[in-house]
Amino acid sequence: MNEIFDFLFSQYKDYSTPFIVLEIIATIFGALSVVFSARNSILVYPTGLVSTALYVYLLYVGSLYGDMIINGYYFYMSIYGWWLWSRKDKQDGGTLKISKMQSKDNIVCLLIFMGSVIFVSSIYIYFDKFTYWWAYVDTFITGLFFIGMWLLAKRKLENWLFLIVGDIIAIPLFFLKGYTFTSMLSIFLTIVAFIGYFSWKKTLQNNPTTL
Higher pLDDT, 209 or 158: 158
Query: Is residue 120 scored above 90 in pLDDT?
Result: no
Is the C-alpha dihedral spanning 85, 97, 150, 202 positive or negative? positive
Is the C-alpha dihedral spanning 173, 186, 71, 23 positive or negative? negative
pLDDT digits (tens, 9 = 90+) for 126-184: 878 787 777 888 889 889 999 999 999 999 999 999 999 999 999 998 888 788 888 88
Least Cα distance to 9 among 148, 193, 179, 150 occurs for 179
Q: How confident is the model at residue 115 (pLDDT cuts 50, 70, 90)?
A: very high
Return the domain boundaries, the chain: 15-87+99-210
Beta bridge partners of 144: none
Q: How confident is the model at residue 210 (pLDDT cuts 50, 70, 90)?
A: very low
Least Cα distance to 191 among 165, 164, 159 occurs for 164
Q: List the end-to-end C-alpha distance of the chain, in Å, as a whole number.
A: 51
Task: Assess contact for 164 and 190: CB atoms under 8 A.
Answer: yes
Greatest C-alpha distance within the chain: 61
pLDDT digits (tens, 9 = 90+) for 34-88: 999 999 999 999 999 999 999 999 988 877 776 787 788 889 999 999 999 988 6
Overall pTM surpassing 0.85 (yes/no): no
Higher pLDDT, 9 or 23: 23
